[in-house]
């Protein structure tokens, strides 16, 4: 536990130092009008072992190959309290589906729909360079939502078992940081981080296994090589997930791990609306509590984020 806390402290400190120089370039923007927002995002990918989603105790070469699609659609109404701060009720419909045909591709945790109703208190700050060009931003929020889990639309997949909680109350704080700077000759240095600390009442687990307090940190740092309308972006990535509570079910490997390794993505954002990336990643895995037989994995696919309104 001492080693675990030291690791978390080191990563949090590194994240703080990583973000500090970004804040120096922030610039104010006019207060937007209240508006309805619709955003579609998604991640369609192949992964060998599915380490960050699998709740199966048997994980290894006998259960290899997952073809996953995660696609949330959010509809929200943003009311700006003042410049850069807003309150936003929202609803989200999220589809998770595994297109594989093996027995392990049918698990309910990889084949379901989640409907969420929530309220968010958020802040947003864009960054610009000396010429006024957008270079990133920091976007934080406090939120609370109730989630409903339903069976997959595909009748060939496993149904949600009767002893699994189909409702979950989730509340916490989240932050997204991004910054890019030009280093010359069509090369950029960029960094991104998604972070969340959230309490879950059930996490859609067994009905007698309640209460989770899960921290998630996903920093990336890399270079961008502009090639006309596309960009090649090699990077290093760390994914830290940790449940701070101390019951047996809070120590499962799928909510207590560190993944780290290289990746590369092709940015298509100049060709398409929003953000589109074709990517490939290799990573090693260390476990913070209970261990698993698997210590490495690969992932490659397509990730996107598209604002409709």
Reported as a pLDDT band with limits 50, 70 and 90, residue 10 is: low
Domain ranges of the chain: 2-307
pTM (2 d.p.): 0.90
Per-residue pLDDT of 186-241, as tens digits, reads 999 999 999 999 999 999 999 999 999 999 999 999 999 999 999 999 999 999 99
**What is the mean predicted confidence (pLDDT) over 251-278?**
95
For residue 7, pLDDT over 70 is answered with no
For residue 8, pLDDT over 90 is answered with no
User: Looking at residue 32, what is its pLDDT?
Assistant: 80
Per-residue pLDDT of 56-113, as tens digits, reads 655 556 788 999 999 999 999 999 999 899 999 999 999 999 999 999 999 999 999 9
User: Looking at residue 148, what is its pLDDT?
Assistant: 98
Per-residue pLDDT of 158-172, as tens digits, reads 999 999 999 999 999
Percentage of the chain beyond pLDDT 90 is: 76
User: Looking at residue 26, what is its pLDDT?
Assistant: 45
Give domain 2-307's CATH number out of 1.10.287, 1.10.533, 2.40.128, 1.25.10. Answer: 2.40.128
For residue 4, pLDDT over 90 is answered with no
User: Looking at residue 209, what is its pLDDT?
Assistant: 95
**What is the mean predicted confidence (pLDDT) over 136-146?**
97
- From the list 35, 45, 86, the residue with the least C-alpha distance to 68 is 45
For residue 1, pLDDT over 70 is answered with no
Of the ranges 9-13, 26-30, 180-184, which is most confident?
Answer: 180-184
Task: Please state whether 204 falls in left (phi above 0), alpha (psi between -120 and 50) or beta.
Answer: left
Task: Please state whether 135 falls in left (phi above 0), alpha (psi between -120 and 50) or beta.
Answer: alpha
For residue 24, pLDDT over 50 is answered with no
User: Looking at residue 25, what is its pLDDT?
Assistant: 45
């Amino acid at each position: 536990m001492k080693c675990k806390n030291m690791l978390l402290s080191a990563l949090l400190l590194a994240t703080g130092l990583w973000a500090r120089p970004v804040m120096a370039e922030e610039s104010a923007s006019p207060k937007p009008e209240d508006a309805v927002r619709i955003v579609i995002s998604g991640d369609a990918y192949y992964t060998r072992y599915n380490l960050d989603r699998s709740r199966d105790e048997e994980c290894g070469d006998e259960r290899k190959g997952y073809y996953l699609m995660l696609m949330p659609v959010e509809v929200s109404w943003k009311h700006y309290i003042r410049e850069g701060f807003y309150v936003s009720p929202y609803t989200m419909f999220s589809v998770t589906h595994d297109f594989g045909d093996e027995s392990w591709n049918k698990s309910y945790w990889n084949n379901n729909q989640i409907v969420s109703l929530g309220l968010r208190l958020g802040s947003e700050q864009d960054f610009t360079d000396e010429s006024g060009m957008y270079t990133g931003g920091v976007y934080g929020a406090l939120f609370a939502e109730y989630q409903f889990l339903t069976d997959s639309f595909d009748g060939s997949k496993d149904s949600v078992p009767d002893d699994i909680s189909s409702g979950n109350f989730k509340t916490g704080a989240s932050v997204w940081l991004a910054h890019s700077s030009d280093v010359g000759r069509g090369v950029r240095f960029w960094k991104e981080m998604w972070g969340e600390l959230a309490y879950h009442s059930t996490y859609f687990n067994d009905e007698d296994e309640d209460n989770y307090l899960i921290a998630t940190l996903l920093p990336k740092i890399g270079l961008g090589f502009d090639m006309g309308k596309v960009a090649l972006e090699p990077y290093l990535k760390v994914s830290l997930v940790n449940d701070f509570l101390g019951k047996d079910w809070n120590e499962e490997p799928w909510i207590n791990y560190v993944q780290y390794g290289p990746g590369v993505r092709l940015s298509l954002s100049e060709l398409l609306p929003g953000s589109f990336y074709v990517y490939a990643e290799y990573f090693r895995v260390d476990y913070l509590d209970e261990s698993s037989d698997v210590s490495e994995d690969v992932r490659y696919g397509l990730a996107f984020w598209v604002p409709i309104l």
